């Protein structure tokens, strides 16, 4: 299997402060992978390293076989897509404008082709009717779906999802999980999500990396069901069982 993202003995942190030490795992193409842990355990910090916002403190982190550097940044940015917790849509643009933005900046397509592709992406997340609306006119769940469409605009190797279910009602959150599964099925997309929502993890994730703030490290790695039932690490079993599914 092809490794899309690979971490080898990575120390994660910011401002010289180490939050997680010696993290190693890899994510394979087509996988839905979750970074799981309590608040403040460092999973969002680790994701910032993975999407190139902050350099790792130590170790080796590769995306599509390349490490983040000034030289590789432009290439790697086109190979990843990111959906932020709030959606992070640009308020001065319509939903269509938001999805078209990466295409306008980086795609060789003509204006008509870019528009057609953006509409197709909006349709894939079920929002073709919202193309002309401004972000302020749509709900939180719709913003996240538009953000996923924007993240997929350049056909990236991997899409990162930051707390996809945060701030959503259970039905909308569940619909978002179904969307992720469908996009993986239809487009072979790889997803890495940061979350502490266990329902979502059991519904979507193939594998999880579990982080513990007290030990400042990754404490378990595996399929959610296995982690809940058979993992040797007690913290991991307790964490996953409190989701009420195990």
Partner 1 sequence: MSAFGERMSYLGEAVASAMSVAIHPRRFRFGDFALAFQRAACDGLPVCMGMGFLLGLILAFESAVSLRTFGLHSYVAALLAIGLFRELGPIITAIVLAGRSGSAFAAEIGAMKTDDELDALSTMGLAPVGFLVMPRVAAAALAMPVLTIFAELSGLVGGALVLAAMDVPPVVFWSNVVSASSAFIIALGLAKSVLFGAMVGLIGCIAGLRTRMSADGVGVSTTAAVVGGIVSVAVADGVIAVLCHVWNI
* Residue selected from 13, 42, 52, 141 as contacting partner 1 according to rule CB under 8 A: 52
Strand order in the sheet with 58-63: 66-67, 58-63, 3-14, 17-28, 217-222, 207-212, 32-37, 190-195, 158-162, 80-83
Candidates 158, 182, 163, 183; CA nearest to 37 is 163
Q: Contact 227/220 with Cβ under 8 angstroms?
A: yes
111 contributes a contact to partner 1 by CB under 8 A:
no
- The smaller minimum CB distance to partner 1, of residues 90 and 185, is found at 90
State the chain's maximal CA–CA distance in angstroms: 55
- Measuring CA to CA, how many Å separate 196 from each of 87, 92, 124, 214? 18, 31, 26, 16
137 contributes a contact to partner 1 by CB under 8 A:
no
- The smaller minimum CB distance to partner 1, of residues 18 and 86, is found at 86
78 contributes a contact to partner 1 by CB under 8 A:
yes
Selected range binding partner 1 among 20-28, 58-66, 71-79, 176-184, rule: CB under 8 A: 71-79
82 contributes a contact to partner 1 by CB under 8 A:
yes
90 contributes a contact to partner 1 by CB under 8 A:
yes
**E strand or H helix that includes residue 159:** strand 158-162
14 contributes a contact to partner 1 by CB under 8 A:
no
102 contributes a contact to partner 1 by CB under 8 A:
yes
176 contributes a contact to partner 1 by CB under 8 A:
no
The residue behind tokens 């749509």 is 138
CB of 152 to partner 1, least distance (A): 12
Q: Contact 228/196 with Cβ under 8 angstroms?
A: no
106 contributes a contact to partner 1 by CB under 8 A:
yes
Residues near partner 1, by CB under 8 A: 51-53, 73-74, 77-78, 80, 82, 84-86, 88-92, 101-102, 105-106
């Amino acid at each position: 299997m092809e490794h899309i993202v690979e971490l080898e003995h990575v120390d994660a942190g910011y401002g010289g402060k180490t939050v997680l030490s010696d993290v190693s795992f890899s994510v394979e193409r087509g996988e839905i992978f979750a970074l799981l842990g309590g608040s403040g355990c460092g999973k969002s910090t680790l994701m910032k390293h993975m999407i190139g916002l902050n350099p790792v403190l130590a170790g080796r982190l590769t995306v599509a076989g390349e490490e983040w550097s000034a030289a590789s940044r432009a290439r790697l940015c086109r190979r990843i897509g990111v959906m932020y917790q709030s959606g992070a849509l640009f308020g001065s643009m319509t939903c269509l404008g938001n999805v078209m933005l990466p295409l306008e900046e980086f795609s060789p397509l003509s204006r008509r082709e870019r528009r057609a592709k953006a509409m197709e992406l909006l349709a894939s997340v079920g929002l073709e009717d919202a193309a002309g609306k401004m972000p302020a006119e749509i709900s939180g769940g719709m913003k996240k779906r538009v953000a996923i469409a924007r993240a997929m605009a350049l056909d990236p190797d991997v899409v990162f999802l930051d707390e996809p279910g945060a701030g959503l009602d259970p039905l909308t959150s569940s619909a978002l999980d179904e969307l992720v599964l469908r996009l993986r099925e239809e487009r072979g997309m790889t997803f890495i999500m940061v979350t502490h929502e266990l329902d979502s993890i059991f519904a979507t994730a193939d594998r999880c990396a579990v982080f513990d703030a007290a030990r400042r490290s990754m404490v378990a790695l595996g399929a959610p069901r296995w982690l809940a039932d058979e993992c040797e690490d007690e913290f991991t079993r307790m964490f996953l069982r409190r989701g009420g599914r195990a």
